[in-house]
């Protein structure tokens, strides 16, 4: 079976900044076709759960109270890449709009609910080395 990385919060793990999960539909079907490798880059980068929400602004990851957490986000991305190489994964299903996992669109850095074009830190790193990245609303194309 092909091994695909997946944001752990989409599988129901309570690893989000608010201590909750974001379980997505269709995960059981995915497990029939793929071996899913759960990852949470923000936890792998050493951040606590729960943690302050963060967004990307001018290339840096900043929490709502102004703390620069870019280093932890980059460390988490590197850890995800290391695990991907260990497991031989070349594709990933990542949670939409997250500053780590977002693909194609992310929050705009103003904490006002706005969205802008861009990738989260982990999604960008994976794409830069040739990964195909899917959002949870794109899993039908994998089934």
Query: Where does this chain bind ligand SF4 (CB under 6 A)?
Result: 7-9, 15-16, 40-42, 95, 98, 100-101
> Taking the complex as a whole, how short is the minimal distance between the CB of residue 125 and ligand SF4, in angstroms?
13
- By C-beta, is 16 or 107 nearer to ligand SF4? 16
Instruction: Decide whether 50 or 114 has the Cβ nearer to ligand SF4.
Output: 50
- Shortest Å, Cβ 98 to ligand SF4: 4
Q: How far apart are CA 83 and CA 122, in angstroms?
A: 12
Query: C-beta of 95: minimal distance to ligand SF4 in Å?
Result: 3
Minimum distance between the CB of residue 117 and ligand SF4, rounded to whole angstroms?
18
Closer to ligand SF4 at the Cβ: 53 or 57?
53
Report residue 142: phi and psi, to 5°: -95, -10
């Amino acid at each position: 079976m092909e091994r695909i990385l997946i944001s752990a919060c989409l599988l129901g793990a309570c690893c989000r900044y608010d201590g909750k999960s974001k379980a997505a539909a269709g995960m059981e079907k995915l497990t029939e076709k793929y071996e899913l490798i759960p990852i949470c880059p923000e936890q792998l980068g050493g951040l606590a759960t729960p943690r302050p929400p963060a967004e990307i602004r001018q290339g840096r990851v900043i929490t709502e109270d102004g703390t620069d957490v870019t280093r932890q986000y980059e460390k988490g991305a590197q850890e995800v890449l290391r695990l991907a190489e260990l497991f031989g994964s070349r594709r990933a299903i990542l949670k939409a709009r997250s500053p780590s996992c977002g693909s194609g669109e992310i929050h705009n850095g103003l904490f006002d609910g706005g969205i802008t074009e861009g990738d989260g830190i982990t999604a960008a790193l994976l794409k830069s080395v040739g990964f195909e990245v899917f959002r949870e609303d794109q899993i039908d194309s994998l089934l």
